[in-house]
Every structure is written in structure tokens, then in C-alpha cells.
């Protein structure tokens, strides 16, 4: 099968191995796995994760939850505040069909959810998001106990867990000590859960962990669930961090050389094909260009226009001509997948199918 | 109409004024306008541009040309090398239905196109792309004459024009002297066209110009066509450069505040909603955050995760609460539109319709 480039290709065996390994991490530590599906946004892959042992999935958006529920996923955590009457109505509709859990981090959000659920005769399961250093959503760690007490008093919602995303590595502040980071993340939330229980709040789920930290966070007694996402495909960023090996990267972007100059080539993928959030300069120092060229580290995807990728040809690089196809492992696979409508599946070196990235564009 | 956020909203009156103004720039200079539709990727908007006086459109991808042709656009320039048998076959199919022009910058590319066209009994109109400093696609300026002589000897393709994209401003190397840049871009290509004509090559079309430079390039005698794209919506980058005023920005991203901390708020749009190619640090120094908050310059969209936008609340900012909606003009509108499936149209302050971004995802 001749693929039109640029396009995404996923090696099925590598993906399945990644899925199995993370399931094993959870199993051997006796905690649950609820993978974040924002990386692939494909119901069929989410079902593979569940079949391999995941206890449900995580999404960021109500629209993603809807797509996943339509395709048979029946236990979904929207790890994001649900704000606005339209979104709350959609959450209530989903809650009738599947087990749904929703993130909460404000009194305003909790009040609106509570009132709508009560009016509809429903109860929505919620988890309190706690900020452990990422400084985005989540109530402050020191304020969490008071907040949880208030939440516990609401009708129409039932507080069953707490969660956090520490995300230090993705913010470029990596100490590279993933073990320390994961253990700290887990202990912070387990300690908090204990405090809440002592105050009479029945916290069942303690949910932490990203791909770099999940294996360590899972070891902390009291952590009940990990929520890694990127591990399903892995990417150049994770390989450079040592979280995976280059051979564990399941997804590559196929591009065609469309132009040649003396010391560079141009491929048919620019910043509408490769994401730019994980770029050298603004991001971890160890990134060189916008991805890693499979089989030739002297070909660096160094500069992107919208539809042009300028590949610097360093000394020692192989011959490269107009028409050649380069496979490039993107720096950040989640945001790169988000630029595409579909991906191709490769088995034993052959393309065996394609999958629509059904949750892509379901931004609200 | 209550919109679910995040979403794109285009003010119709501003867009139509932008379209009319650029048509006037072309008309008063006696040159043609062939807008690059990569900014919106919406056939209905391309038709508005043609209705306002454009002589055809420009696209970057064969897939975009197909979408536009399906919706009635009948004069399309693919300003990009078409490489690979699959894409060439699609070009031949399009060439039977509409006036098509294709960019060429390599002997390999020209040979393949020529052979396929000959075998199919067709002639493809091509333009030679010339590199005038951008260093991506395009033959070197000094090599263009020899290259054009070779091209002119090919059957199955007919060389009718030359084109360039100097793009100095978008590369962060802006002198801010757009007049000088536009005039230089025009003169370089007009001089080259003259050289080619003296060598007996009938160059009809001399095509240059981006949104910042088009008004100046159009003034150069001998320039026959300008290809600006971003002007249809404009964006924060162009406003900060003085290319347009903030009131000329037609598109904003509506986001909802989903979380509040003491000195920041979090909105429901991250780097899957706002593009990151035009960011402070890697890009023009004059950008502050990832967009401009309409009505409150003290609210800065300073940091993005995939689905979180962290808005710094500077001294003097207005009150901001969970549930509030912020309209944010993105830094770079072309790559931001590319993240979304549709946009809403606002007329006289009311939402009157929506349009699918039909060319989005047509990356190959």
C-alpha cells in the first residue's frame, strides 16, 4: 500500500507492547490503570487498553467522552472542570448511560453541577483536583481539606476521589529523577487522602501519575490509580528523557522529500503536521529539531513553516533525494496526533488498516 | 445562541472589509489577486474572495485543491512541489476539470510531472518557484535562468510563470520595513522574469507577496499577481507589526474560565486550541503570550498545556470568574484555524451560522 504523505503510521506490535507493559506496572503494584486517551483519541485503541487490563479511561473534554461512550467505553473520567450549562447537560446525558466521573476544583463549578444533577434526579461522581505544583487547574494543596469538606456537603454530586497532575517533566523543569518525582506525587496525594478520611470524608480513589512518573507513583501504598497517556505511542521527548527506548516509539510521521538544496532538504510536513509545543529553545534542552529521523540521526527536522519541514543535512548523513520518504518520530506525539484526521496501522512491516482519530476536534 | 467553548468566531463585517481592501490593493495597482486559502480552508470564504475580485486562489496541498474544486473554485494554484505518483495522478484528474497551476522546483519533480502528463495526453501549467531568501522550497535565484531553460524544454508541462515567498517577517527577521521588503521581493522577481524572457522563455505571471508585503510588492511594475493569505482574518502578530489594526482582526477564539487561582485563571483552550508556532521566545519579540484578550490587555494567555490556557491576571485587570467567557485573538490565525473543525460566523453581534473548515486535515 502506497501511502500519501504526510501521514501517521503506528506500529501495532510496539503499541501493544507499550499497552501491555503499563498494564503490568499497574497490576504488579495492585493499583488500577485509567489511561488518558488524549494521546490517540481513538475508541478502538481505548478498547485495546481496557482489554489489556485498564479499569476505564480518562479524557479531557466532554466531547471526547461522548465519542468514547458512543463506541462502547463505559467507564470514563473527565479529568477537567465541567463548566457551563451546555456541558453540564451533556454530562448528565452521559451519566445516564455509563459510569462517569468528573473533575471539580471550584465552588462555582460544583454548585452548578450539583444543582443541575439534583434537578435531573441524578448523582454525579466527582473527584477533587489538587494542585501539586503544576499551577493550572486544581485547588491549592493547603486548601484541599476545607474545600473537600464543603464539597462533601453538596447534594447531587458525590465526592469519591482526589487526583493531581504534577507534570513537572512536561514543563521543562525535569530533574530527570522520575523516581523521586513519582514517589513525591503519590505520597502527597496519599497523605491528603488520609487527612480527608480523618475528617470523615470517604475518599476511595487516589489518582496520580503521568507516563514518566506512573511506574514510581504506582509503588506508593495508598495510590489506587494511575493515569498515564503518552505511553501508548511514546515519542522523542520521552525517549530522550530515558522513559522509553527509541524502539518503543510506536508512531512515526511519514514525509516525502519535495525539494533539495545543497545542505538541506524540504519535506512535506510543517507545523500543520508536526506540533511545535515541544520545541528546542522553549522546551527541554535535549531536543534537537522537531523530531527524530528514523535511521539517520544526521538528518534534523530543524525548521517548520506551515507545510514545509526543513531538514538539515549534517555531515555523515545518507544520500537524500526528491521523492525519498522519511519517517520522523515527533517530539510530542499527543499534540502531533491532534493535527491529523486518521492514522495507519502497520503490522509486520505492512499497512493493514487505518483508524479515524474520532476524538480530534471534539474540543468542547 | 450559546456557543460551546472553545470555538472560533469570525466577525463577518470585518472579514468582508479585509477581503475588499486587499482586492482594492490589487485593482489599483493593476495586478491580479490570488489569495492563499491556507488561512481559512473554507470554500465559501474562497468564493467570497473571488466574488470580490480575486482571479483564482492559491493552496498548499493537492487535498486542499480537491476540496476547493469540489465546491466550485475553478482556478487554483498549488504553490508547492507535487511529488509522488499518487499526487501527480490526482493533479491530472483535477487538471481535466479546472484551470490548475502547479509549483515546480526540481528536475526530478518536473520530469515525473511531464512524463505522467504526456502519458495522459495532458499539459500541466507550471510556475517555477524561486528562493529569494526564505531557504525552503525554490531554486536558487542565481540558478533560476538555467533551470527555467531546462523546464522550457519539457513536454507535458508548460512554464508560464515564476513565484516566490520571501516571508522574512514570518521568520522573525522582520526589519519592520515592509515597504522595502515588498518592493525588493517584487523587483527581484520582475528582474528575473525579464532575464528569462530575454532567453526566449515566455514568462507571463510574476507572483509575489504575503499579507505584510503585498501592498508594496503590487506597486512594482511587472508584478502581475499577489498571493496574500492571512489578511482575510488578520491576527495578533500582524496587528503588533502594524500591518493591520486590532479592529481588523476578524477571528477570535472564545474560551471559558474553568478555574481560578489568586493571580491566574485557567481557560478551556490550550495548545490543541491555540497554535504555538508563533510564541514569545522562539518568535517575534513583540508577542506577549499566545494571543490578545479582547477588551483587557492585563489578561495574558501566558502558558498552555494541551487543554489548559493559563491566563495571568496583571494589576488593573478586570474581575474574572469561573464561567466567564474570554475572546482571544490568536497570535497566528492560520495555524490556529488548522486546529479546529468549524468556525462560527457573527453578524451584527449575533451568531448567524457556521462553516466547516473543509480543507483542514487534507494534508496530503
**What pLDDT does residue A31 have?**
97
Q: Reduce the DSSP state of residue A275 to 3 states and report it.
A: coil
Lowest-confidence segment of A225-229, B173-177, B312-316 by average pLDDT: B173-177
The Cα of A28 is separated from the nearest Cα of chain B by a number of Å equal to: 30
Q: Which chain B residue is nearest to residue A39, measuring alpha carbons?
A: B306
Q: How many H-runs (helices) and E-runs (strands) does chain A carry?
A: 10, 18
Is A310 within 8 Å of B275 when comparing Cβ atoms?
no
Lowest mean pLDDT among A145-159, A161-175, B207-221, B267-281: A161-175
The answer to whether residue B274 neighbours chain A at the CB level (below 8 Å) is no
User: What is the mean predicted confidence (pLDDT) over A188-198?
Assistant: 98
- pLDDT score for A363: 87
A294 pLDDT band, cuts 50/70/90, is very high
Question: Is there a contact between A106 and B304 if contact means CB atoms under 8 Å apart?
Answer: no
Pick the closest to residue A206 from A215, A54, B147, A197 (CA basis): A197
Tell which residue, B100, B73, B12, B55, has the closest CA to residue B227.
B55
Closest chain A residue by Cα to residue B38: A306
Residue B261: predicted pLDDT: 96
Quick check: B228 pLDDT over 90? yes
Give dist(CA A88, CA B68) in Å, integer: 38
Contacts of A247 (CB under 8 A, 6+ apart): A14
| Residue of B287 and B84 predicted with greater confidence | B84
When CB atoms are compared, the residue of B61, B106, B321 closest to A322 is: B106
* Chain B CB within 8 Å of residue A303 CB: yes
> Do the chains contact at B276 and A281, CB–CB below 8 Å?
no
pLDDT at res. B174: 46
* Contact flag B363-A281 (C-beta cutoff 8 Å): no
Rounded to 5 degrees, what are φ and ψ at B264?
-150, 160
Q: Report d(CA B208, CA A137) in Å as an integer.
A: 46
Helix H or strand E encompassing A13: helix A12-28
**A105 interface with B at CB cutoff 8 Å:** yes
Q: pLDDT tens-digit profile of A6-23?
A: 999 999 999 999 999 999
Kindly report which listed range (A120-134, B139-153, B161-175, B348-362) carries the lowest average pLDDT score: B161-175
Instruction: Report the chain A residue with the minimal C-alpha distance to residue B358.
Output: A341
Share of chain A above pLDDT 90, in %: 89
A136, A282, A313, best to mutate vs chain B, most B CBs in 10 Å: A136
Q: Which domains does chain B have, with CATH numbers?
A: 13-230 (3.20.20.10), 241-356 (2.40.37.20)
Nearest CA in chain A to B337: A272
Does residue A282 surpass a pLDDT of 60? no
Minimal-distance CA residue of chain B relative to A261: B139
Q: Which of residues 233-252 of B touch A (CB under 8 A)?
A: none
Q: What is the rounded end-to-end Cα distance, in angstroms, of chain B?
A: 36
What is the secondary structure of B200-268 as a DSSP string? Answer: T----EEEE--TTTHHHHTTSTT--EE---GGGT--HHHHHHTSS-GGG--EEEEEEEEEE-SSEEEES
pLDDT score at A278: 85
Over residues A67-103, the pLDDT tens digits come to: 999 999 999 999 999 999 999 999 999 999 999 999 9
Spell out the alpha helix ranges (H) of chain B. Answer: 12-28, 43-51, 62-70, 85-97, 107-119, 144-152, 178-198, 214-217, 236-241, 333-337
Grid coordinates of A351: 499497512
Q: What is the pLDDT of residue A286?
A: 66
Are B277 and A271 in contact (CB < 8 Å)?
A: yes
C-alpha closest to that of B331 among B219, B218, B224, B253:
B253
Query: Which of A83, A259, A364 is opposite residue B106, by nearest beta carbon?
Result: A259
**Residue B208 confidence (pLDDT):** 97
Task: Report A:165-204 residues touching B (Cβ under 8 A).
Answer: 167, 170
> In the prediction, which pLDDT does A170 show?
47
Please report the residues numbered 336 through 355 in chain A whose beta carbons come closer than 8 angstroms to any beta carbon of chain B.
338-341
Model confidence at B134: pLDDT above 60? yes
Q: Is A141 on the interface with B (CB under 8 A)?
A: no
Judged by a CB distance cut-off of 8 A, whether residue A321 touches chain B is yes
Reported as type and span, the H/E element at residue A334 is helix A333-337
In b/e form, how buried is each residue of A105-128, taking b as 16+ CB within 10 angstroms?
bbebbbebbbebbeebebebbbbb
Residue to mutate among B272, B284, B285, B302, with most A CBs inside 10 A, is B272
Averaged pLDDT, A266-282: 88
SS3 of residue B35 by DSSP:
coil
Confidence grade of residue A32 (pLDDT, cut at 50, 70, 90):
very high
How confident is the model over B55-111, as pLDDT tens digits?
A: 999 999 999 999 999 999 999 999 999 999 999 999 999 999 999 999 999 999 999
Q: A305 to chain B: which residues are within 8 Å by CB? A: 136, 167, 170
Q: Which residues of A touch B266 (CB under 8 A)?
A: 136-137
Q: Residue B352 burial by CB count (10 A; 0-12/13-18/19+): exposed, middle or buried?
A: exposed
A163 touches chain B (CB under 8 A): no
Contact B322 A108 (CB under 8 A): yes
* B165-191 average pLDDT score: 78
Please say if the pLDDT value at position A29 is more than 70. yes
B316 and chain A: CB distance < 8 Å anywhere?
Answer: no
For residue B44, the distance in angstroms to the closest alpha carbon of chain A comes to 21
A361 → closest Cβ in B5, B61, B341: B341
Query: How many CB pairs (< 8 A) connect A and B?
Result: 172
pLDDT tens digits along A123-177: 999 999 999 998 999 999 999 999 999 999 999 999 999 999 987 544 455 446 8
Amino acid at each position: 500500500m502506497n501511502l500519501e504523505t504526510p501521514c501517521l503510521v503506528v506500529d501495532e506490535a510496539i503499541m501493544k507492547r507499550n499497552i501491555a507493559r503499563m498494564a503490568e506496572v499497574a497490576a504488579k503494584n495492585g493499583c488500577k490503570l485509567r489511561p488518558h486517551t488524549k494521546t490517540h483519541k481513538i475508541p478502538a485503541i481505548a478498547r485495546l487498553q481496557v482489554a489489556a487490563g485498564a479499569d476505564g479511561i480518562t479524557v479531557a473534554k466532554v466531547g471526547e467522552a461522548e465519542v468514547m461512550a458512543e463506541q462502547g467505553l463505559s467507564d470514563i473520567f473527565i479529568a477537567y472542570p465541567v463548566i457551563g450549562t451546555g456541558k453540564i447537560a451533556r454530562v448528565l446525558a452521559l451519566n445516564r448511560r455509563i459510569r462517569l466521573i468528573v473533575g471539580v476544583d471550584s465552588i462555582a463549578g460544583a454548585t452548578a453541577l450539583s444543582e443541575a444533577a439534583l434537578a435531573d434526579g441524578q448523582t454525579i461522581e466527582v473527584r477533587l483536583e489538587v494542585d501539586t505544583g503544576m499551577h493550572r487547574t486544581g485547588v491549592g494543596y493547603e486548601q484541599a481539606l476545607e474545600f473537600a469538606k464543603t464539597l462533601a456537603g453538596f447534594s447531587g454530586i458525590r465526592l469519591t476521589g482526589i487526583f493531581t497532575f504534577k507534570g513537572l517533566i512536561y514543563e521543562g523543569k525535569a530533574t530527570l529523577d522520575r523516581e523521586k518525582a513519582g514517589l513525591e506525587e503519590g505520597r502527597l496525594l496519599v497523605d491528603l487522602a488520609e487527612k480527608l478520611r480523618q475528617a470523615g470524608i470517604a475518599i476511595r480513589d487516589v489518582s496520580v501519575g503521568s507516563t514518566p512518573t506512573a511506574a514510581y507513583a504506582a509503588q506508593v501504598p495508598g495510590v489506587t490509580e494511575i493515569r498515564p497517556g503518552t505511553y501508548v505511542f511514546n515519542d522523542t521527548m520521552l525517549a530522550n528523557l530515558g522513559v522509553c527506548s527509541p524502539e518503543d516509539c510506536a508512531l512515526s510521521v511519514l514525509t516525502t522529500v519535495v525539494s533539495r538544496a545543497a545542505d538541506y532538504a524540504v519535506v512535506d510536513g510543517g507545523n500543520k503536521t508536526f506540533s511545535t509545543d515541544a520545541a528546542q529553545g522553549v522546551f527541554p534542552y535535549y531536543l534537537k529539531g522537531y523530531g527524530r529521523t528514523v535511521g539517520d540521526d544526521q538528518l534534523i527536522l530543524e525548521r517548520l513553516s506551515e507545510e514545509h519541514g526543513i531538514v538539515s543535512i549534517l555531515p555523515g548523513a545518507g544520500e537524500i533525494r526528491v521523492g525519498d520518504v522519511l519517517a520522523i518520530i515527533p517530539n510530542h506525539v499527543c499534540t502531533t496526533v491532534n493535527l491529523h484526521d486518521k492514522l495507519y496501522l502497520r503490522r509486520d512491516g505492512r499497512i493493514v488498516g487505518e483508524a479515524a482519530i474520532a476524538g480530534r476536534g471534539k474540543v468542547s
